[in-house]
Amino acid sequence: MKSFDVPVVYRSPLISAIKKKRKDQDRMKKDFSPTLLDFGPVHIYLARHFGFCYGVENAIDIAFRTIEENPGKRIFLLSEMIHNPQVNADLQNKGVRFLQDTKGRQLISFESLTGEDIVLIPAFGTTLDIESRLRSIGIQVEHYNTTCPFVEKVWNRSEAIAGNRYTIIIHGKPSHEETRATFSHAAANAPVVVIKDMQQAEALAQYMLGEKPPSAFYNEFKDQFSEGFDVEAHLQRIGVVNQTTMLASDTQAIADYLKSVMIKKYQLTDENVKEHFADTRDTLCYATNDNQSAVKGMLQVEADLAIVVGGYNSSNTSHLVELCEEKLPTFYISGEEKIISPSTILHYDFHNKTELLTEHFLPSKLPVNILITSGASCPDAVVAGVIEKLIAFFPDAKIPDEVLLTLD
């Protein structure tokens, strides 16, 4: 796989050594058990897969190389490069300015841009309308486009099933940048509906089966369907794709459910179901799959708590938190500074979009067993900082170099 020039500040000698050792031992990526870091009074179980993915490293490489190669030029980011506060802050500190926020609200007018300016397209991609507007100004969109190849894979898959006259159902978060971009590309070729979860899939099925009046659809799915969508005509042949960072199990469950609805409605068999349901392969990216599988493997270990590190607006990170929350106390933090003391942690409740202060988060027993993972946009250096902060609370803990020597 291609390697990228990522600033050394985002790397960690500790994490790099662990990842290299695991890769050498498991080149086929079949072992999803965590790595035990035995510091003595504290045992840290590090997920098999976590941190920067291909798409994120590609975006960071392009962004920092663009800054280096264009001194004196005005450089803008369409919106956040990735959902990580440290990386976005570093880019801003180098003079890069954001044109929009993550919801698509304008921060700097496109009218203020010229053809001499550089606009970086983030890893999530963007809409066809925005691409067209930037080109009309003279902006070289293709040259500074960091769209993740796995997001583009979803767009290509959508185009393929649209070519066979299927309506496209996108499992994703309607306001997320990636879903907005995928919606735009898909809607250029076919009718499209975005559904957030199984509850909305079940609501959609009621219209497919004629259990709800078609007129109610346009209010219930307001702002989640393409222009000219005809609920009676466009739900007869469908295919499901997804935002690449959703929970794999959720997407699969939704696809299986909607397929069963089509079988019921048209009295189909597995042999002829493709007449009404596209044979779509899962469009989740490899890193999302690996990271979620690694968390499930990590959760097989008996532990006292889990810590998930990443940006608070990161979709893939929030799903790792969801998985951990099902089994044990879980603390979602953006970095080591959120661990205030051995007894106090400031963590994010993404369900209610607020930070919480929790006391006595570390148990008094020894050893303390902690599970740790991070999202695909989180630098390894941030994870290493969290580990170092935790072990500093235990005066008798071994140093990282000593622990590395004992790894199997």
Question: How far is residue 117's CA from residue 72's CA, in Å, rounded to a whole number?
Answer: 10
Q: For this structure, is 178 an active site residue?
A: yes
Residue 332 forms beta bridges with which residues?
Answer: 308
Which residues, 6+ apart, have CB-to-CB distance to 175 below 8 Å?
A: 103, 104
Evaluate whether 106 touches 161 at the Cβ level (below 8 Å).
Answer: no
Question: How far is residue 377's CA from residue 52's CA, in Å, rounded to a whole number?
Answer: 5
Residue 121 forms beta bridges with which residues?
Answer: 145
- Using a 10 angstrom Cβ sphere, with 0-12 exposed, 13-18 middle and 19 or more buried, the burial of residue 134 is buried
CB atoms < 10 A from the CB of 47, how many?
A: 29
Question: How far is residue 297's CA from residue 68's CA, in Å, rounded to a whole number?
Answer: 41
Evaluate whether 284 touches 244 at the Cβ level (below 8 Å).
Answer: yes
**C-alpha count within 13 angstroms, C-beta hemisphere, residue 368:** 20
End-to-end CA distance of the chain: 26
Tokens of 320: 């790792």
- Using a 10 angstrom Cβ sphere, with 0-12 exposed, 13-18 middle and 19 or more buried, the burial of residue 353 is exposed
Find, among 169, 6, 180, 200, the residue nearest to 103 by Cα: 180
Sign of CA pseudo-dihedral 175, 176, 177, 181? negative
Task: Single out the catalytic residue among 131, 177, 178, 322.
Answer: 178
Q: Tell me which residues are annotated as active site.
A: 178
